Amino acid sequence: MRRGAWRTLRRLTPASGSPARGVVAGFAATIIVGTVLLMLPVASERGEPTDIVASVFTATSALCLTGLAVVDTGTHWSTFGEVVILALVQAGGLGIMTLASLLGLLVSRRFGLRMELTAQSETRSLQLGDVRKVVVGVISLSIVIEIVVAVVLSTRLMLGYGYRFGDAMYSGVFHAVSAFNNSGLALYSDSMMRFVDDPWITLTIACAVLTGGLGFPVLFELGRRLRRRHRGRWSLHTKITLITTGALLVVGFAFIAVSEWDNERTLGVFGVPTKLLAAFFAAVMPRSGGLNSIDTGDMTATSLLAQDVLMFIGGGSASTAGGIKVTTFALLAFVIIAELRGEPTVHVMGRRLSDGVQRQALTIALLSAGLITVTTMTLLTVTDFSLDAVLFESISAMATVGLSTGITPHLPPTAQLLLTLLMFIGRLGPVTLGAALALRERPRRYERPKERPIVG
């Protein structure tokens, strides 16, 4: 059963010998192609070749849906270069959502979406028909949402800002794709700061980021219930994702609003409606959106720390968002609650969590924290920037968010290459590691005698 499913995914990556290695090789090859295209003179506004460090950083940031940049996207790159970046963002978004959905389907055999998502769920196998359904579903859903967002943005730019039709459509499409795929890249040097008081722009982009950050399984189940008004049981994955996402959004909004309310460099200069709008936008973007309507570098240390936490958690599984994922965070919270209560097993919303899932969540969280720590210490060694700025940049790269305090372009090439590697690991690591850990589970033939070391 498991072997048959594994063989199906192997057929999708024949050269790699395994799905995980095939995915990593495919993303690496795409980054190389993107780097070569961005190094061409035609890709820059000045008609000159872009150096390899900036090109590989930009290609990785775009494909891995991060949004960090060492050169200004709107002024450095020509239309050709911007189209290359947009293509990388779209390929990365579709690839990640499809990959995560397929691997999740392979691991869990079902997402709680019953027969609509996998016709073979009852036989506990993954067939080519299931692969086709997931791929078509991801592509169709992504394109529809991006078109809707692009139409709203383009219309607003024409009617509210006097953009010509072609310019409005170009900007609308670029930022719709960027927002839904949580890439954090913008054509404007100030990101979305010029639209800080415009709810048509900022709320549309925020909704696109939130939608892309929920993940295909959740969106599929929500759409299915809206179409058919199904009243059956919600899947555990969907419930955890929606509840945790909502809770983090409310907490983040309140925290940032309070911390920045009187800060004259951020929210302090605006009226109450704009303050609330900007605080909401700032609370959404650490989920992996990466855009900003107020200057992140001017935010208080308290707000930066709050965003560090939100970036580290990230968005939903099988989504375009990064981080350790809200499900991982929620499961670890349930483990802690069960331990504090002295309960022998962990129960979540009427279901018992297996020991394997708990170990996987802990492994992903600790490995991510370890990589961020090593990167932060390295950057502190090779640069003169403060701990707040360096830690923020490291988490943003690892969680593929794209928010920045503004230090990335000023880092030495070695530090920029380190962040490039971190972006690559941060995008593919949690997805492939989570699947690999689950698929490598095997029963023990014997157990050792128990012993309990002193803890704490």
Residue 27 contacts residue 428 (beta carbons within 8 Å): yes
Q: What is the pLDDT of residue 192?
A: 95
Amino acid in the structure at residue 238? T
Q: What is the pLDDT of residue 237?
A: 86
Q: Which pTM was predicted?
A: 0.86
Q: Is 449 within the bounds of a domain?
A: no
Residue 172 contacts residue 150 (beta carbons within 8 Å): yes
Phi, psi of 251, deg, nearest 5:
-65, -45
Nearest Cα neighbor of 104 from 218, 273, 222, 270 is: 218
Beta carbons within 10 angstroms of residue 163's beta carbon: 18
Judged by average pLDDT, the poorest of 63-67, 132-136, 188-192, 197-201 is 132-136
* Better-predicted residue by pLDDT, 92 or 169: 169
* Better-predicted residue by pLDDT, 205 or 112: 205
Amino acid in the structure at residue 17? G
pLDDT at 347 over 50: yes
- In the chain, how many domains are there? 1
Per DSSP, helices labelled H in 40-78 are: 52-63, 73-76
Phi, psi of 347, deg, nearest 5:
-115, 135
Q: Is 447 within the bounds of a domain?
A: no
* Better-predicted residue by pLDDT, 53 or 236: 53
pLDDT at 297 over 80: yes
Q: Is 452 within the bounds of a domain?
A: no
pLDDT at 305 over 90: yes
Q: Is 319 within the bounds of a domain?
A: yes
Q: Is 448 within the bounds of a domain?
A: no
pLDDT at 117 over 60: no
Nearest Cα neighbor of 50 from 23, 78, 19, 25 is: 78
Q: Is 128 within the bounds of a domain?
A: yes
pLDDT one-digit tens code per residue, 92-116: 888 777 766 666 655 554 434 433 3
Q: Is 282 within the bounds of a domain?
A: yes
Q: Is 444 within the bounds of a domain?
A: no
Per DSSP, helices labelled H in 285-325 are: 301-313
Per DSSP, helices labelled H in 52-191 are: 52-63, 73-76, 79-108, 128-161, 165-180
* Better-predicted residue by pLDDT, 144 or 116: 144
- What residue numbers bound the domain in which 188 lies? 2-439
Q: What is the pLDDT of residue 437?
A: 54
